[in-house]
Structure 1
């Protein structure tokens, strides 16, 4: 695999998500559910507006493609899209709760585990092949996560739920490749809104009056939701889930650096060792790209 538009799309998405704590931390006084409600509802409204105003011809063309599919392919698309919407809602809520009510490092830990889970699931579910060095990098990641989780089994279990939800999202969307990715994302946001709508009257707090809340929510919706999700879905058209999963490590690495140098969270020797191993594993997993080495089948 060469460094191409798919690779750059995936890397850009995870770099953007790495800075998500910057607009989210100032909202820590607001309930996590309220942030989730407004994030999903605003994203859905904006995506629908874009599709109706600027992409109507693309929507019509994709509707024609859907009607031409067999019943089996229609069910496959609908199932994968609906599942994707559910997984996004679950992942977002748990991540925001961990970030605002536990610690930035605890939220980052979930995305340290996630690439490993994604890689392993892709191997068993999608039959994606890995080289010896790629498996070696997975082992290094497992060691780094074991070091970080030592003495915090509860945090590990909590992080696993976040990690598995996003790993399953990546796996499912890798197979959901029949339609325009922007439209797929729009449908998933509609599904997420439908899932959350019945809970809004019961669990939402007082309507925020502060302008900073809505300013930050617009930033979160546009810069940290629509753009990186689209880049991520686009990357899955030309990359396997394992490679996308390993690139995900840029997200917690940035979170970790922000936690230490910006939010002044405590750094331990275990953190230093673990993140050093992760950096090494990223280099090893992508050694063909970084060192421009061809596989035997390419020679």
Structure 2
């Protein structure tokens, strides 16, 4: 029964993230930089409060573990954490800009191709191996991107930039596993906040006074940042990363559905074909996870029957 709880947690996290555009679109009149400022500041405040109030034992344990680590490992953790914070900040800013000033479909496409780009970056940067099925999926995804760029170069360009920054963030953090992930995120956001704080007086607009802005910001910080991260951390306790990775595609599928049926964005036949190719590439890419376990379970059932 507990296994289903892990699946439900992962599903709920990506299901929530799929509706992120609903909180961004109502405040699209505000500059993207302002939204980033307030998202970072409010997220840091909330995450720090959670860690200091509810996770003090965890903080103490992580600090003790960090102090006894070799110097090189400590330096590696610090570099990966700070570099990751810079990549994450750029991803957030570009994503907000794309959703509010390009279109929702571009944001949806970004997170459809993100898992493919993550694997390609991991192949070149971390020297992880790819089998023929995964290379086939990468090629199909590339073809779909080329098709989309024929008439919508701006969309595909921004989608690739968003996907690339998030993929680089994931790859950079794969080797940053010695410290609690939630604490790492808190440190990264705190570092981002300290970096952008000097620019806030010069580059921010007037302090928002409309209640709608703070209502949407509250949703962004709580519903689309804090809660999904907690659910993801809980899910990863009982599920492997590949299973959680498959469930990630709930997010862009909901995004694309909202773009077509709620925001009434136009979708051409070429775009539909391209998105279909991406979905096919996703299935091929995760062939072993999607179908391998099923076949394995059948073998186990057959063996149990023979016994």
- Counterpart CA distance in 1 for 2:110 and 2:265 is 17
- Counterpart CA distance in 1 for 2:186 and 2:201 is 23
Count residues with an aligned counterpart: 293
- Counterpart CA distance in 2 for 1:51 and 1:148 is 43
Residues 169-188 of structure 1: matches in 2 within 5 Å? 169-188=169-188
Q: Which has the larger radius of gyration?
A: 2
CA contact (8 A) 1:114 1:167 kept: yes
CA contact (8 A) 1:7 1:239 kept: no
Give deviations 1:120-172, integer Å, cap 9, x for gaps.
Answer: 01122223233322222222222222211213334433333222111110001
Residues 1-299 of structure 1: matches in 2 within 5 Å? 12-231=12-231, 239=240, 248-291=248-291, 292-293=294-295
Aligned in 2, Cα 1:229/1:45: closer, same or farther, shift over 3 Å? Answer: same
Q: CA deviation at 1:233?
A: 6.4
Name the SS of the counterpart of 2:39 in structure 1: helix
Partner of 2:299: none
Give deviations 1:256-277, integer Å, cap 9, x for gaps.
Answer: 1100000000011012112222
- Counterpart CA distance in 2 for 1:135 and 1:290 is 17
Aligned in 2, Cα 1:277/1:117: closer, same or farther, shift over 3 Å? Answer: same
Give the TM-score, by structure 1 length.
0.88
Give the TM-score, by structure 2 length.
0.86
For structure 2, list consecutive stretches of 5 or more residues without a partner in the other structure.
297-307
Aligned in 2, Cα 1:231/1:86: closer, same or farther, shift over 3 Å? Answer: farther
- Counterpart CA distance in 2 for 1:44 and 1:233 is 18
Moved more, 120-129 or 281-290: 281-290
Give deviations 1:22-57, integer Å, cap 9, x for gaps.
Answer: 111111111111111110000000111111111111
- Counterpart CA distance in 2 for 1:59 and 1:102 is 41
Aligned in 2, Cα 1:186/1:151: closer, same or farther, shift over 3 Å? Answer: same
RMSD of aligned residue pairs (Cα, Å)? 2.6
- Counterpart CA distance in 2 for 1:132 and 1:9 is 32
- Counterpart CA distance in 2 for 1:263 and 1:155 is 16
For structure 1, list consecutive stretches of 5 or more residues without a partner in the other structure.
295-299
